[in-house]
Amino acid sequence: MKIVKPRFYDDFGCIADKCTDNCCIGWEIDIDPAAMARFGKAEGAFGEKLRCAIINGEQPTFANTAGERCALLREDGLCELVLNMGEDALCDICALHPRFFGRYNDIEEAGLGLCCEEVCRLLFSDSSPLSFVEENTEEPSFDNCDEELLCAVLSARERVFALLRDRSLPLGERLRKCAAFVRAAQCSLDNGSPLPENVPETAKLTPNERRETVAALLKLLNDGEPLNDEWTKKSSELLSRADELYNALPRFFEENRGTLWQYEHIAVYFVYRHFLTGASDGEIVSGMGLAAAAVLSVALADCMTWLDSGSLSEWDRICNVKLYSKQTEYSEEVEQQMRDAFWDIPELDPEKIAGCVPE
Ligand code: SF4
């Protein structure tokens, strides 16, 4: 079997008490059966404390205390479970987070979620086009996809990666070409015909169409069940300033040309994480939509920061990316709402979203 991972995957290490945003805050952490069995045998005073920190039920979870902190998270940001029983005692979610995995026949794709500030830092640590590395293992294949469909979706994704990495073109044009290609590739998948050789021509949007798409995207983001108060505040401010941000975005891009490659990395990363769901259901438009929406949404949030403070640091962008990732990539309901909207709401066709990214 082949394992694929982003080039920085093995460089990741949780920065624990140095993290400004501990991932043991604000989530409901499910405990797997093997960990429950381990915790049941833990001895002494800590064993008692550990069991008191668990909410039993069909799906046991760690209890949260004030500020939605995991009951085992100390004030200094360290985990009492690790301190008392070692890292090997962690439940699967805590041991693996923020890693994610996708399994497709004889391919396992691993990644690190952008909900984590250290992952965002690694993503932005190298401006050269984002690449992925492959390793072969003796692990058995999963045999969970139709091989012909998987090959077609993988080759469509390779074309998207190549288009996104083509720095001879402005980012907005690259995204538009990707969205147009994916729409045509979707027709090919539906008809059982070969993927298109060429990227179809796309018409540029009128200013009014762009304004409507920006407003529709910010409304969609604001309508989703919010993860936390920070998102509620950010998304409602973005929505209320939609016109102002739409007007300022071209100047923001012009004045921040030196860091626009970071949006290319965001697009490639979202395509990597979300496009291959098409290998199960044959639908690839919404995976492209998630990537285009991520670029435009983070750019609008960055633009708002830049307007308000007169500059945008890499840390500002990391904060915007991780908040967006937490809200949209970690709730099945929110992700599905977005995927549906790319089909159902005309203003949110991925080609239109891509057409709002300045060139
Ligand atoms: S967000 Fe990342 S760096 Fe921070 S505690 Fe979680 S895994 Fe560690």
pLDDT, residue 78, reads 85
Number of alpha carbons in the 13 Å side-chain half-sphere of residue 185: 30
CB 25 within 8 A of CB 70: yes
- List all residues whose CB is within 6 A of at least one atom of ligand 1: 14-16, 19, 21-23, 98, 116-118
pLDDT digits (tens, 9 = 90+) for 72-126: 999 888 899 999 999 999 999 999 999 999 999 999 999 999 999 999 999 999 9
Q: Give me the helices (H) in the chain, please.
A: 33-41, 44-52, 80-85, 92-96, 117-123, 147-164, 171-191, 207-223, 229-240, 242-255, 261-274, 278-281, 285-309, 314-329, 332-344, 350-355
Ligand 1 centroid to Cα of residue 97, in Å, is 8
Query: Taking the chain (359 residues) in consecutive chunks of 10 residues, what is each chunk's mean pLDDT?
Result: 97 89 85 95 94 94 91 89 93 94 96 97 98 95 94 98 97 97 97 95 92 98 94 98 97 96 98 97 98 98 98 97 97 97 98 95
Ligand 1 centroid to Cα of residue 144, in Å, is 31
Which of 9, 112, 116, 325 to mutate to test ligand 1, by most ligand atoms within 8 A of the CB atom? 116
DSSP-assigned states of every residue in 261-292: HHHHHHHHHHHHHHGGGHHHHS--HHHHHHHH
Ligand 1 centroid to Cα of residue 22, in Å, is 5
Ligand 1 centroid to Cα of residue 120, in Å, is 11
pLDDT, residue 101, reads 95
Q: In a 10 Å sphere around its CB, with 0-12 CB exposed, 13-18 middle and 19+ buried, how is residue 359 labelled?
A: middle
* Rounded Cα gap, residues 261 and 275, in angstroms: 20
State the pTM of this model. 0.93
